[in-house]
Amino acid sequence: RILIIGACGQIGTELTLKLREIHGNDQVIASDIREGAKELMESGPFETLNATDEPHIRKIIQDYEVKEVYLMAAMLSATAEKAPMKAWDLNMDSLFHILNIAKEGIIEKVFWPSSIAVFGPTTPKDDTPQTTIMEPTTVYGISKQTGERWCEYYFNKFGVDVRSIRYPGIISYRTLPGGGTTDYAIEIFHEALKNSSYTSFLAEDAALPMMYMDDAIKATVDIMEAPAEKIKVRSSYNLAAMSFTPEILASEIKKHINGFKISYDPDFRQEIAESWPSSIDDTTAREDWGWKHEFNLDKLTTTMLEGVGKSLKTQD
Ligand code: VAH
């Protein structure tokens, strides 16, 4: 069976539903510190779990005979800056628990998400290569960079089959993200449909790598299904789909919502965004395990407007 830790988060929710569709509802155990979307809670097993509680993780793995773990619990970039020690403890302890359980041979495969936040101001900003300078300046980025090194170490020393992707900003409408720097690109759709205006907390020219949720889920499923010998990078893979600024996204939305207005009031998150790459070179993932994205900015915009539009209607 498969265990998702952090199943109620933005990516966890859609990943759990997808894995249940592929493997069967009772084969995929969702767990999180809090309850989540109705669809997720009702479609299969759920366990309340704190991702730092090692004995409890072990018990769930034993009780359900879990062989594969997706560790999706983490504190994101903006929140982590406000609670550095808490972020470090959550992001690192949860990873060590899973890596150690895998090292003991109790589970066979691990997915752990990294992020483009592993890069920093000294990294080449455009088409950032797979292997390059990595000097992250955020709490979140430091934790992801450290996590990558440990994943690679556990693979090299103990043969742990851990696989990882450096996600860009992930855009979706089913579950809201919590505390990320790329969250503006989701908020903007909600505000555009509700109020025809949005004040961005990033500057108009803050270009960041982004991806639509379906592509992120496809990448996650693909990397986990690939034969082990194809996964040559055991720290984490660069992954890209598109790159845009708040200004570019706003003009795309204007094509659908006449009179949509954007203004800019950058806060501390602007500094985080400035430390990250603008675009990513993901050739290695494409070559090693056949990664290919489907959503471009045009398709992302129409899908988001439709999805957020529907969810706003059902709220009324
Ligand atoms: C964040 N969405 O903003 C996350 C992410 C690419 C950044 O990992 O913190």
Residues 176, 101, single domain; the answer is no
Longest dimension (CA), the chain: 59
**Ligand 1 closest atom vs CA 181:** 3
Domain with residue 14: its CATH number is 3.40.50.720
The boundaries of the domain holding residue 202 are: 172-210+241-315
Cα separation, 202 vs 285, in Å, equals 29
Which residues surround ligand 1 with Cβ inside 6 Å? 76-77, 115-117, 140, 167-169, 180-182
Measure the N-to-C terminal CA separation of the chain; round to a whole number of Å. Answer: 39
Q: Does the CA dihedral 236-237-242-247 come out positive or negative?
A: positive
Q: pLDDT tens per residue, the chain (316 residues)?
A: 999 999 999 999 999 999 999 999 999 999 999 999 999 999 999 999 999 999 999 999 999 999 999 999 999 999 999 999 999 999 999 999 999 999 999 999 999 999 999 999 999 999 999 999 999 999 999 999 999 999 999 999 999 999 999 999 999 999 888 899 999 999 999 999 999 999 999 999 999 999 999 999 999 999 999 999 999 999 999 999 999 999 999 999 999 999 999 999 999 999 999 999 999 999 999 999 999 999 999 999 999 999 999 998 887 6
Domain count, the chain: 2
- Cα 86 from Cα 71, distance rounded (Å): 17
| 300 and 270 part of one domain | yes
Best of 10, 137, 172, 182 for a ligand 1 pocket test (most atoms within 8 Å of beta carbon): 182
Are 163 and 23 in a shared domain? yes
94 and 230 housed in the same domain = yes
In the annotation, is 140 catalytic? yes
Within the chain, where are the H helices?
10-23, 38-43, 54-63, 77-82, 84-88, 94-103, 139-158, 184-195, 213-225, 246-254, 268-275, 283-289, 297-315
308 and 165 in a common domain: no
Report the distance separating Cα 99 and Cα 97, nearest Å: 6
What is the structure's pLDDT at 171? 98
**In angstroms, what is the C-alpha Rg of the chain?**
19
